[in-house]
Structure 1
Amino acid sequence: MARVSVMQTEERRAGVRGALAALAENPVKNKAVLVKPNFNTADPAPGSTHNDTLTALVDQLWEMGAASIRLGERSYTPTHQVMQQKGVGALLEERQVQVIDFDDLAPGDWVLCRPADTHWNDGFRVARPILEAECLVSTGCLKTHQFGGVITLSLKLHVGVVPAFRNGFAYMQELHGSPYQQEMIAEINAPFSPALIVMDGIDTFVDGGPATGKRIKGNVMLAATDRVAVDAVGVAMLKHLGSNPAVMEPGIFELRQIKRAAELGIGVRSTSDIDLVPADDASAGLSAALEKILSRG
């Protein structure tokens, strides 16, 4: 069983703290941690990771005993511009977090991965810091994706570990031009495994996304160690809030990102393998509602 903690709150710092406490797992103690945020663009949350969520997570990681913390990202526009627009530089510096701009990686630090079973034509490249991270922590946003991905949760978050263009090939052009985009998103996740995932659903896009969309209050923070499990619960939350037909109509494990990830053994294989844990009494009602949606498969 994969535990997913559910914290119902309007406040991000309390949400991060409560979700991690309820998860009752500490994979970061004495580890060199690499944080992967959602900084594809600098759009306000859920278009990108909210600064309050990021700083709350970093503070909690230090409290949990992380030996060191770095942050690594590749954005849609130049990564340094996105971070500058978000104003995270000083916030990270004062928390002793080193930033790795994947745009600055040498060609040899984009490692070619050629799985035997993939929809990528000739494999894909992954940033070496991701593959070599002693402890990877991923933090994404709860939202839909209007450009073929359908959902953008923890699996889709990791598109940012693949280059847009490197070594003479346009990887994002292949991804977004393929009818198998959703399967390819899942396949990106096969070469590495985050030790911890925190998903911010305080604000959500129930349609549109990933940068802008139909925004409503979700008032939830999720935490897990299993990408497929947390994405399944994220989809249940989108269904609970009322999303678009591409999310509302299929079963959770019929969504192609999740189905493919389950096939590859990236995480749980069905909703029956997920154990929802409410963070407090105030979160119990929402957890029960999500459990009911999960039970439908």
Structure 2
Amino acid sequence: MKHSRRDFLKMAAATGGAVALHRWPAWAFAATTARVALVKTDDHRDGVLRALRLVEPLALQGKSVIIKPNLNSSHRFPASTHEDTLQTLIEVCRAGGAREITVPDRAGMGDTQRVIREKGLDRLAADLGVKVVALETLPAPEWTRRAIPGGHWQRDVLFPNLIERADVIISTCCLKTHRFGGQFTMSLKNSVGMVARQGPDGYDYMRELHGSPSQRTMIAELNTLYRPALVVLDGIEAFVDGGPEAGRLARPGVVLAGTDRVAIDAIGVALLRMHGVGAPVSTGRIFDQEQIRRAVQLGLGVTSPDAIEIVSDSADGRSVAAAVRAELAKG
């Protein structure tokens, strides 16, 4: 479904007008139930707008907003966030009255500034009046040491002040496997791009992460550092093998939206399984996948598939939602 400019502004105002963000401590993240919108589509803009109509709208008037994309590399979607998805979210926030919109990330593969240029995001930012920030360019005073009590990180991680200060945090992620130890990369893994690669003393946090047998547990632990007001997963296309920058392509044709990272990632794993992903993502209970299991232990989201409510706006979407529920219930 295509939308006219007038339709877009009406939908954006509705979706961007009315849910308050609460800054809660980590122990308060967990919800007893989670509502996740699942929209069947092959159009990124259409999918984002329709998904946002099915979840609680955001209170954006006068707020500073962070939109955290997945700028892993300059490879085409689903390696990194699709430009139409990011643009639509920016326009929704602008229509909702956001005072300031910042798009920060740290690329997983290569130089973030180069990725921004090659993806055309510098031009997009200029056209839309937002800031795109390559996090590794921030000076040392713009980072804060953050402890993860009971975590597997060897030392405190560095978290950017600009994200810490934001009124609203939106995370938009892709749907793909991760051959470098993450196994899959969705909303939980998207948090890795928020923290520093290296400290002022040269300590390499990413070397520690990727060299640790606890990598997937450590990924989940980073999510205690913040609480997103909204997560949008663009699963119109996905990698079901390889990843994160290239792999075997599948076309689930869905966009998800919600606030619960555990629920979003659990549905994402179900979708990967429905499209032929291999081991280890294909084996065992979805809630026993290490990223998800640790996130549940930390109180970051729902504790079981039964607590996830999937809603859609079409017969095709409801059919996919039913198949996802069946996949979640296995094991």
> Residue 269 of structure 2: SS of its match in structure 1?
helix
> Within 2, Cα distance between the matches of 1:29 and 1:272?
35
TM-score normalised by the chain length of structure 1: 0.96
- The answer on 1:59 being equivalent to 2:91 is yes
User: 1:147 is matched with which residue?
Assistant: 180
Amino acid aligned to 1:18: R
Q: CA RMSD in A?
A: 1.3
Partner residue of 1:118 out of 139, 151, 161:
151
The residue identity in structure 1 corresponding to 2:44 is R
Q: Secondary structure at the match of 1:165?
A: coil
1:83 aligns with 2:122: no
Decide which of 134, 147, 151 is 1:101's aligned counterpart.
134
Q: Which residue of 1 aligns with 2:228?
A: 194
**Superposition pairs for residues 266-277 of structure 1, below 5 Å?**
266-277=300-311
Structure 1: 4+ residue segments shifted above 6 A: none
Conserved 8 A contact 1:47-1:212: yes
Q: What is the distance in 1 between the residues matched to 2:294 and 2:223?
A: 11
Deviations 1:31-66 (A, max 9, x none): 211110001211111110111111112122223332
* Rounded Cα–Cα distance in structure 1 between residues aligned with 2:191 and 2:241: 20
Supply the AA of the counterpart residue of 2:122.
Answer: G
Matched, 1:183 2:239: no
Distance 2:158 2:173 in 1: 21
* Worse overlay, 138-147 or 162-171: 162-171
Cα contact 1:27–1:195 (8 A) shared by 2 = no
Asked if the contact 1:197/1:223 (under 8 Å) is kept, the reply is yes
Q: Which residue among 42, 46, 54 is the counterpart of 1:14?
A: 46
Measured in 1, the distance between the counterparts of 2:179 and 2:70 equals: 17
Percent sequence identity over aligned pairs: 40
Q: With structure 2 as the length reference, what TM-score do the two structures score? A: 0.87
**Could you tell me which residue of structure 1 aligns to residue 76 of structure 2?**
44
Select the residue among 102, 105, 108 that pairs with 1:73. 105
Relative to structure 1, the CA distance from residue 2 to residue 29 in structure 2 (aligned partners, 3 Å threshold; closer, same or farther) is farther
Give the superposition deviation at 1:27.
Answer: 4.2
Give 1:67 shift.
Answer: 2.9
Equivalent position SS for 1:247 = coil
Look up the SS of the partner of 1:28 in the other structure: coil
The 1-side partners of 2:297 and 2:313 are apart by: 30
3-state secondary structure, aligned to 2:224: coil
Contact 1:27 1:196 (C-alpha < 8 Å) held by counterparts: no
Q: Do the aligned residues in 1 keep the contact of 2:121 with 2:132 (CA within 8 Å)? A: no
Alignment-mate amino acid for residue 24 of structure 1 = E
Distance 2:325 2:250 in 1: 21
For 1:206, give the aligned amino acid: V
Match status 1:211 vs 2:250: no
**For 2:268 and 2:96, how far apart are their aligned partners in 1?**
25
2:289 aligned partner, one-letter code = L
**1:237 alignment partner, SS class:** helix
Specify every segment of 5 or more residues in structure 2 that has no aligned partner in the other structure, as ranges. Answer: 1-32
Deviations 1:254-279 (A, max 9, x none): 00001001101111111111110113
In structure 2, C-alpha distance between the alignment counterparts of 1:165 and 1:53, rounded to whole Å: 30
Letter in 2 for 1:97: V
Checking the alignment, whether the CA contact within 8 Å between 1:71 and 1:100 is kept in structure 2 is: yes
| Alignment CA distance shift 1:88-1:7 (3 Å) | same
Unaligned runs of 5+ in 1: none
Q: 1:282 to 1:66 in 2, by over 3 A?
A: farther
Is 1:35 aligned to 2:67, yes or no? Answer: yes
More strand by share: 1
**Amino acid in the other structure paired with 1:171:** Y
8 Å contact kept, 2:71–2:81: yes
Deviations 1:64-92 (A, max 9, x none): 33232111111132211110010111112
Please name the residue that 1:5 is paired with.
37
Deviation sequence 1:187-238 (CA, Å, 0-9, x none):
1110111110101111100111111111111111000111111111111111
How far apart in 2 are the matches of 1:242 and 1:24? 32
Alpha-carbon contact 2:159-2:194 (below 8 Å) kept: yes
Q: CA deviation at 1:288?
A: 1.0
CA pair 288-65 structure 1, distance change in 2 beyond 3 A? farther
